[in-house]
Amino acid sequence: MKIEDITPQYIQAISPYIPGKPISDLAREFGLDESTIIKLASNENPLGPSPKALAAIAQAAAELTRYPDGAGYDLKAAIAARFNVKPDQIVLGNGSNDILELVAHTFLRPGLSAVFAQHSFAVYPLATQAVGATCIVVPARDFGHDLDAMRKAVRDDTRVVWLANPNNPTGTWIPAPQIRAFIASLPADVLAVLDEAYNEYLAPELQADTAAWIAEFPNLIISRTFSKAYGLAALRVGYGLMDAGVAAMLNRVRQPFNVNSLAQAAAIAALADAQYVADSCEANRRGMRQLEDGFRKLGLAFIPSHGNFISVDVGDGARVNLSLLKKGVIVRPVANYAMPKFIRVTIGTEAENARFLAALAEALVE
Ligand SMILES: *Cc1c(COP(=O)(O)O)cnc(C)c1O
């Protein structure tokens, strides 16, 4: 007997998550000097963390022998004040990935199903399959969510709909009124998980107060993260906003100390550092224009993006990705998102973007 054989079939069937390649891996594989490698593969903030977050971490480091506050009192208070919700409507996560997992563990099981869009975030199928539930993948429309088709795909056994807005890896975005109407159209026993990992990057005129919707929809869970615009991906901290009753259910399956104390302290400081987020968004807008202009000059089609990344059609994503790796540029191939012609590139600093565009121009003619 092999232990693999007693693993539930639905676990054996999972295709593992493929992360962006770490710089140290590439250096080892191709014998490159780490300092010459740029990584534009995981939608990290190219500015580095907020100095205020770093100062908060240094202070919190003195208490490393203590368990973190499992209830996250101070961080919840800060989030509650920012979004005008109550602390008991917030669940903290070890990254927002943790929130998605908590939803799956709490509400899905074998015999139930979850609906999500084609070309949507890889964690939705992972979280769904990990608890033996069925994935219902709805074909995209112009690379974005087809909400009408997603609504029709909801079955009696559906308990969760995963929605990414903006979506990763396509960068597509749906206006708030359409998302709201979709949520309102769902049966009361179907949870809408509105994943807003890239919300902070939306242009101000596109921002909507989605947090206000949770008072209206007890079946709505909004997830947010400190990994992207707040620049704290390594610390793993995110949160969900939801009805207090739903939060109480998620908290039953949450690890008691799932968010460490450095992450909590840094997140509080980052949330208060509005200038850092504004600077990050401004740098992102400039970088996005730089890459779009570069793609136009190279005659490449791209999907207009509302995130801090952009997917571009390079004809053969696997080939171009390998060529870029050899030049010390790490981007994300997205064949596993059914987009084999594309690569996804994170907006970097101006110098990183220029280096990527130059390497891409070479890779295309090799
Ligand atoms: C990056 C990302 C997340 C968040 O990741 P965490 O680091 O776990 O917070 C969530 N959803 C989408 C769509 C993402 O791209």
Structure tokens at 67: 């368990």
pLDDT tens for residues 90-120? Answer: 999 999 999 999 999 999 999 999 999 999 9
Q: Assess whether 40 and 72 both reside in one domain.
A: no
- Which residue among 97, 120, 124 has the greatest number of ligand 1 atoms within 8 angstroms of its CB, and so is best to mutate? 97
**List of residues 6+ apart from 283 with CB closer than 8 A:** 46, 47, 347, 349
pLDDT, tens only, 57-82: 999 999 999 999 999 999 999 999 99
Q: If pLDDT is split at 50, 70 and 90, which confidence band does 240 have?
A: very high
Q: Provide the pLDDT for residue 309.
A: 98
CB atoms within 10 A of CB 246: 22
Q: List the single range of 12-21, 138-147, 350-359 with lowest mean pLDDT.
A: 12-21
CATH number at residue 294: 3.90.1150.10
Q: Give the end of a domain, one of 273, 298, 331.
A: 273
* Number of domains composing the chain: 2
Ligand 1 atom showing the smallest separation from residue 98 Cα? 8
Do 235 and 104 lie in one domain? The reply is: yes
Residues 111 and 221 in one domain: yes
80 and 204 belong to one structural domain:
yes
Ligand 1 atom nearest to CA at 121:
13
pLDDT of residue 230: 98
Residue having the nearest C-alpha atom to atom 14 of ligand 1: 197
Measured CA to CA, the distance from residue 118 to residue 115 in angstroms comes to 10
The amino acid at 285: R
20 pLDDT exceeds 90? no
Mean pLDDT of 303-311: 98
Mean pLDDT score of the chain, rounded to an integer? Answer: 97
What is the predicted pLDDT for the residue at 338?
Answer: 95
Question: 194 and 136 in one domain?
Answer: yes
Distance between Cα 102 and ligand 1 center (Å):
14
Is a pLDDT exceeding 90 seen at residue 236?
yes
256, 273, 290: which is the final residue of a domain?
Answer: 273
In this structure, the answer to whether residues 215 and 242 fall within a common structural domain is: yes
Tokens 């995130």 — which residue? Answer: 307
225 lines ligand 1 (CB under 6 A): yes
Residues 188 and 246 in one domain: yes
Atom of ligand 1 nearest to the CA of 96: 9
162-220 pLDDT per residue, tens = 999 999 999 999 999 999 999 999 999 999 999 999 999 999 999 999 999 999 999 99
Match 């840094």 to its residue by tokens. Answer: 266
Please report the pLDDT score of residue 220 as a whole number. Answer: 98
Q: pLDDT for 120-135, tens place per residue?
A: 999 999 999 999 999 9
User: Which domain-ending residue is among 236, 252, 273?
Assistant: 273
User: Do residue 169 and residue 244 come from a single domain?
Assistant: yes
| Domain with 301 in it | 3-48+275-365
Q: Whose CA is nearest to atom 2 of ligand 1?
A: 197
Q: Are residues 104 and 247 in the same domain?
A: yes
Assigned token pair, 319: 């080939």
Banded model confidence at residue 4, pLDDT cuts 50, 70, 90: confident
CATH number for the domain including 135? Answer: 3.40.640.10
Q: Which atom of ligand 1 approaches the CA of 225 most closely?
A: 9
The response to whether residue 95 sits with its C-beta less than 6 Å from ligand 1 reads: yes
Examine the domain organization and report whether 317 and 266 are in the same domain.
no
Q: Both 23 and 156 in a single domain? A: no
Residue 343, beta-bridge partner list = 312, 333
Q: What is the pLDDT of residue 364?
A: 97
Question: Is the confidence at residue 17, as pLDDT, over 90?
Answer: no
Q: What is the pLDDT of residues 251-290, one digit of tens each?
A: 999 999 999 999 999 999 999 999 999 999 999 999 999 9
Q: What is the pLDDT of residues 326-353, one digit of tens each?
A: 999 999 999 999 999 999 999 999 999 9
For residues 183 and 232, membership in a common domain is answered with yes
In the chain, % of residues over pLDDT 90: 96
Edge-to-edge, what's the strand order for the sheet holding 158-164? 90-93, 238-242, 220-225, 191-195, 158-164, 113-117, 134-138
